[in-house]
Amino acid sequence: MTERIFNFSAGPAVLPEPVLQQAQRELFALPGVGMSVLEISHRSPSFEHIIDEAEAVLRKLLGIPENYRVLFLQGGASLQFTMVPMNLLAKDRSADYILTGSWGQGALKEAKKIGTAHAAGSTAETNFNRLPKPEEIKLDPNAAYLHFTSNETIFGVEFQEEPLAVDVPLVCDMSSNFISKPIDVTKYGLIYAGAQKNAGPAGVTIVIIREDLLERAPEGLPSMLDYRNLAKSGSMYNTPPCFAIYLCGLVFKWLLNDIGGLEKIQVNNKEKAKILYDAIDDSDGYYRGHAEKDCRSLMNVTFRLPNEELEKKFIKEATAVGFDGLKGHRSVGGLRASIYNAFPKPGVVELVDFMREFERKQG
């Protein structure tokens, strides 16, 4: 047996152990198929069953209504930064972006290459340690959509709900808190998420798009960048990332059947995050959270120590005892503990014990 350590990576990130075990069992030969999922044609009935089932279980988990299409695409969440404006931003319109971190900034930067797009609100001034209040958001009446990032993975700020009710389609980069809690899909025009944070391995991006928006795409888009074309072909215009889709399907089934759905996983996620944030708050300022309390992410817990030297020491010692991936992103510094759906609660408890012991030793 190879020992597993605690993986706090922001992405690709920890996957549920039962999913890894099932994939390992089935890798050599899918039951009843006699070939690996890595070897079968994407046009085969066996693979069609895999992708159909993945979609069906995701629909059940999120309660996705009939008038939404689910796409399994490539190019990462980053390609959606381009595809969203390409498909939804008409030449005579603009697009609004709420910026709460680097990913939103990246999305806006790409949108500006396609058409007119503005920051409708931003918390860059305080290094993205909070979310803008509704009154700080200035919408353009000519906007074709409003884009936001539900969880900013690098800074660790998360919207508890949609930023505000708007008439235009709400577009959300949900990469790092996708399927971590129930949401009302009907509030959205388009949701996208790179799988490698919460839904599966790297290589597939899930797009959920309201059907009427498919018609907004201008004529003549490159086929691979045209939602309408990708929807029409059932995400199989070309060879899809078969293995990644298969694994996402296993993760969805784990969430639905083993965990019991998104309400249940939300309870787990709140519990895990509370343990960690309580430890930060109870440390009399030794550990300092980056995000303001009411904006804290349940997925990515960002915090600092009294100085960089101690942060380096902490990371070094933590890594040595089996806590991997705790180094914060350079734009925030400090530490980041990513505790996605599949991250086990005992790992959070052990990290908190380690934090208390570290503080005591340095004391």
Ligand X SMILES: *Cc1c(COP(=O)(O)O)cnc(C)c1O
CB of residue 80 vs ligand X: minimum separation in angstroms?
A: 8
- Contact positions with ligand X (CB under 6 A) in 23-82: 76-78
Rounded distance between C-alpha atoms, residue 100 and residue 130, angstroms: 7
Give, as one character, the DSSP assignment of residue 184.
-
What are the beta bridge partners of residue 117? 95
User: Which residue matches tokens 């709400």?
Assistant: 170
324 classed as catalytic: no
CB of residue 110 vs ligand X: minimum separation in angstroms?
A: 11
Rounded distance between C-alpha atoms, residue 114 and residue 348, angstroms: 43
**Identity of the residue, 196 or 314, whose beta carbon is nearer to ligand X in the bound complex:** 196
The answer to whether 249 and 104 are in contact (CB under 8 A) is no
**12 binds ligand X per the rule CB under 6 A:** no
Which string of x and - marks every residue 174-203 that binds ligand X (by CB under 6 A)? Answer: -xx-----------------x--x------
Pick the stretch among 52-60, 169-177, 263-271, 287-295 that binds ligand X (CB under 6 A). 169-177
Which string of x and - marks every residue 111-150 that binds ligand X (by CB under 6 A)? Answer: --------------------------------------x-
Spot the catalytic one: 92, 133, 167, 197.
197
Q: Please give the structure tokens belonging to residue 163.
A: 């930023």
**Identity of the residue, 103 or 343, whose beta carbon is nearer to ligand X in the bound complex:** 103
**DSSP letters spanning 206-251:** EEEEEGGGGGGSPTT--GGG-HHHHHHTTT-SS---HHHHHHHHHH
User: Which residue matches tokens 């001034």?
Assistant: 125
**85 binds ligand X per the rule CB under 6 A:** no
CB of residue 205 vs ligand X: minimum separation in angstroms?
A: 6
**Identity of the residue, 113 or 312, whose beta carbon is nearer to ligand X in the bound complex:** 113
**Identity of the residue, 188 or 314, whose beta carbon is nearer to ligand X in the bound complex:** 188
103 classed as catalytic: yes
**Identity of the residue, 94 or 176, whose beta carbon is nearer to ligand X in the bound complex:** 176
Rounded distance between C-alpha atoms, residue 110 and residue 316, angstroms: 37
**If binding means CB under 6 A, how many residues of this protein chain bind ligand X?**
12
How far is Cα of residue 26 from the mean position of the Cα atoms in its chain? Answer: 26
Rounded distance between C-alpha atoms, residue 187 and residue 312, angstroms: 43
What are the beta bridge partners of residue 143? 94
| Phi and psi torsions of 200, nearest 5° | 170, -155
Among 9, 87, 122, 153, indicate the residue that binds ligand X (CB under 6 A).
153
**Identity of the residue, 87 or 205, whose beta carbon is nearer to ligand X in the bound complex:** 205
The answer to whether 112 and 119 are in contact (CB under 8 A) is no
**173 binds ligand X per the rule CB under 6 A:** yes
Rounded distance between C-alpha atoms, residue 131 and residue 293, angstroms: 11
What does the binding site for ligand X look like in residue numbers (CB under 6 A)? 11, 76-78, 103, 149, 153, 173, 175-176, 194, 197
Question: Which residues are catalytically annotated?
Answer: 103, 173, 197
